[in-house]
Structure 1
Amino acid sequence: MVTLLMRPWVATCSETGAALSDLYEDVLPARRERRLRRHLARCPGCQAVYASFVRAVEGLRSLGQEPTDASPTIVETVIAAIRSDSGDDPRRRDRPD
C-alpha cells in the first residue's frame, strides 16, 4: 500500500504477477491496466514472466485445435471394436445367444 501511495501510476512486481491472467484476458479496468502495462514496460523480470505466461496459455489453447487426420477405415474399426466390447453390435442382435 505504501508503494501505491508513493507511485500510484506504476504497479509493483507482486501486483503485476497477481494480475497476469486478467491482463492477458483484457478484463481489467483501464486505470489498473495502464498501471500494469507501465510496470511491464520498465521491468525486464516481469516482461519475461508475462511472455512465458502468454506462451503457456497459447500453447494450452492450441492443444484442442490440432486437426485429426483419422482415415474412415480407422474410425470404422474403432467403432466396431467398441460395439463388440459393449455388446452393442447391430450384427449380433439377430443371433440367438
Structure 2
Amino acid sequence: MMREALLHPLRFAGDHRFTRAQASNYLEDELDAHSRERVEHHAHACPPCMRLLASLRRTVAALRTLRDGPSSSLPGVSESVLARLRDEPARDTGRDTGYAGG
C-alpha cells in the first residue's frame, strides 16, 4: 500500500487532508461506505493518520469515562468537547504528515 501511495502523490495528499478532516466523523461512524473506505485505506498507508485515529479513539474513550464515571459534577463534558471538535475546521499544519511532496 505504501508503494501505491508513493506512486500517486497527489492522491495521497488529497486523501491525507480528507482523512484528517473526517477523522472524528469516521470514529463516530458518520461516513458513507465510500468515505469510510477512503479513510481506512489511507490510514493503513499513512502512519501519522493512523496515529491520529488512535489518539482520537483514546481521547473519546477517556471522555466517556468522565461522563460515566462517579463524578456527576461534569455532566455532558464529553459531548461538549466532541461537538466542539466537530465544529472546528481541521487544522493541518503540515507537520508530521509523512508526505514529502513531489
1:12 and 2:15 correspond? yes
Structure 1, unaligned stretches of length 5 or more? 1-5, 69-97
Runs of 4+ in 1 over 6 A off after TM superposition: none
The correspondence for 1:27, drawn from 27, 30, 34, is 30
One-letter amino acid of the structure 2 residue matched with residue 53 of structure 1 = L
One-letter amino acid of the structure 2 residue matched with residue 67 of structure 1 = P
**Distance in 2, Cα, partners of 1:37 & 1:65:** 29
Greater relative CO, 1 or 2 (CA 8 Å, sep 6+): 2
One-letter amino acid of the structure 2 residue matched with residue 64 of structure 1 = R
Counterparts of residues 59-78 of structure 1 (less than 5 Å): 59-67=62-70
The correspondence for 2:52, drawn from 49, 53, 58, is 49
Deviation at 1:11, TM superposition (A): 5.7
Greater gyration radius: 1
Deviation at 1:46, TM superposition (A): 0.5
Q: Do the aligned residues in 2 keep the contact of 1:17 with 1:46 (CA within 8 Å)? A: yes
One-letter amino acid of the structure 2 residue matched with residue 12 of structure 1 = D
**TM-score in terms of structure 1 length:** 0.56
Structure 2, unaligned stretches of length 5 or more? 1-9, 72-102
**Distance in 2, Cα, partners of 1:52 & 1:44:** 12
**Distance in 2, Cα, partners of 1:11 & 1:27:** 20
